[in-house]
Amino acid sequence: MARKRSSHWLNQRWWKLALADWIGLSLGFLGVILVFCLFFIRRDTLEIRLEHTFGVDDPEFIGSALAMNHPVLISGNKVVLLQNGDQYFPAMLEAIRTARQTINFESFIFKSDSVGYQFRDALCERARAGLEVRVLLDGVGSGWDLDNSDVRMMKKAGCKFAYYHPTFSWRVDRSNRRTHRRVLVVDGKVAFTGGAAFADLWSGNAQDPEHWRDTHLRLEGPIVAAMQSAFQAHWIKTYGEALTGAGQFPPLPSTGDLRAQVITSHSFSVAPIPLVQAVSFAAAEKRIWITNPYCTPTDDQVDLLVQAVQRKVDVRLLLPGPHNDQPMTESAGRGAYGRLLEGGVKIFEYQPTMIHAKTMVVDGMFAMIGTSNLDARSSEINEELDLVVYDEKFGREMEATFEKDLEQCREYTLEDFKNRSWWERTTEWLMIPFRSQL
């Protein structure tokens, strides 16, 4: 009799709480999916541990470093380094305003501010003039800071516009996979890429904390077709339109003597960037000079850099100082500083403002500039684009830029690391579970 009353009571309770139970179960299920998408959907990465068996100037270096992307360099290019907003924004705006057929533009960050308005207006003017103008922005990086009125203005002017993985979408599996690329290709003949975003913080000449330090590139020659191809891969995926014809892929005669190649990362593929870094570190015989805003190296990267020091290689990391805009990323990476410093790696912190340049030059010969950070997010999640240049003269120019930035740095020593505050130590520990997202 007692069992019967218990069953009847449970039956009544089920019907009474059914709606609340279903809501709770649904929210829990969605939460599990969200956590899975954030922490488990990523590219595969390998633990790469290499011995020093060849140098940067040996013929097997390029094929080994670029083996997972395009292992053959493209010759006949001109690459111009552009420092800070006072150089790269006028150059890009001039290229847009003098375009004759096509403009393809992709960026992670595009804001509705004075810099964003300049590019919005230039793109709209060319679209009204009858050019094919395509704008592809990241749904997270730009979706929150670009006003809908600006999007409508570009569309009304004739620009084809799309968000890469829009913020509001049923495809939650895409929510954490962002395009971090910066690509501008004009008439299929001139291209730009680098670390800069399209917002006021990137304007000026790094003169104060409200104007960041960054590096961008202007490209001419056959390498532009590779940049166009990288844009097309995302445009087809997002907009469903192929780019063809002379306005997109014109003949590209030699414009210089530089050999270069584009490295791109894609979803659901093994990450190519860590291999480039690992082979470069293992091959170095003189110098490894890295500038990067978000540095959370893996254990194998730390080992390779320390091993390079043991070969008498001058290894330097130039990182943000007091104006770091991502303190959680700094905390996640600082745990590796101890092993790096004990191993002889030198760390320098840029003082005047946030340094956002993402560059590497090895032995004054192999240079990489682009959008990738020295962190797990760039390696495993984001869709990045970097340019490598294999040339001694260009490498010296890169090293001169590094040395100029070094003049405005403070060295971070092993003593600094050992004397860091309890709060810094606590945040390092708290960030361990989130290293893949930072």
pLDDT, tens digit, 9 for 90 and up, residues 8-48? 544 555 445 566 666 777 677 666 666 666 666 666 667 78
Mean pLDDT (the chain, rounded): 90
Which one, of 133, 253, 121, lies nearest residue 189 by Cα?
253
Kindly tell me the burial class for residue 72, based on how many C-beta atoms sit within 10 Å of its own C-beta (0-12, 13-18, 19 or more): exposed
Phi, psi of 215 (to 5 degrees): -130, 135
- Per-domain residue ranges of the chain: 42-67+263-437, 85-204+222-255
Give the rounded distance of the alpha carbon of 227 from its chain centre: 15
**Dist CA 115 CA 261 (whole Å):** 29
pLDDT value at 143 more than 90: no
The CATH T-level fold of domain 42-67+263-437 is Endonuclease; Chain A (3.30.870)
Lowest mean pLDDT among 36-45, 339-348, 421-430: 36-45
Residue 227 pLDDT exceeds 50:
yes
Residue 352 has pLDDT above 70, yes or no: yes
What is the rounded average pLDDT of the residues 304-321? Answer: 98
Position with higher pLDDT, 16 vs 142 = 142
Phi and psi based region of residue 300 (left: phi greater than 0; alpha: psi -120 to 50; beta: remaining):
alpha
CATH class of 85-204+222-255: alpha beta
pLDDT at 58 over 90: yes
What percentage of residues in the chain have a pLDDT greater than 90?
73
Local confidence band at 320 (pLDDT 50, 70, 90 cut-offs): very high
| Token digits of residue 344 | 């002889």
**In this model, does residue 406 exceed pLDDT 70?**
yes
Q: What would the mean pLDDT of 207-228 be, rounded to a whole number? A: 98
Domains 42-67+263-437 and 85-204+222-255 belong to one CATH topology:
yes
pLDDT tens digits, 230-285 = 999 999 999 999 999 999 999 999 999 999 999 998 776 777 888 999 999 999 99
